[in-house]
Amino acid sequence: AFAAAAPASVVQHRTYPTLAHEIFNEPEREQVLAELTHWLARGGAAG
């Protein structure tokens, strides 16, 4: 519902096939957090 209501310019879909369901608690969490930080910094959440 959130992605459908959000502007297409801010919606991104990422998959992490080697990670389990708690991606922020995986050994690779730094990669996930870096991508999230980059998305937020460029205005992803604000549009």
Supply φ then ψ for residue 20, to 5 degrees.
-85, -160
pLDDT value at residue 45: 62
pLDDT value at residue 44: 67
Residue pair 23/29 in contact by the 8 Å Cβ criterion:
yes
pLDDT value at residue 33: 96
Q: What is the value of pTM for the model shown?
A: 0.71
Beta strand segments in the chain, E: none
- Give the pLDDT of the chain (47 residues) as one tens digit per residue: 778 888 888 888 899 999 988 999 999 999 999 999 998 898 866 65
Which amino acid appears at position 40 of this protein?
Answer: L
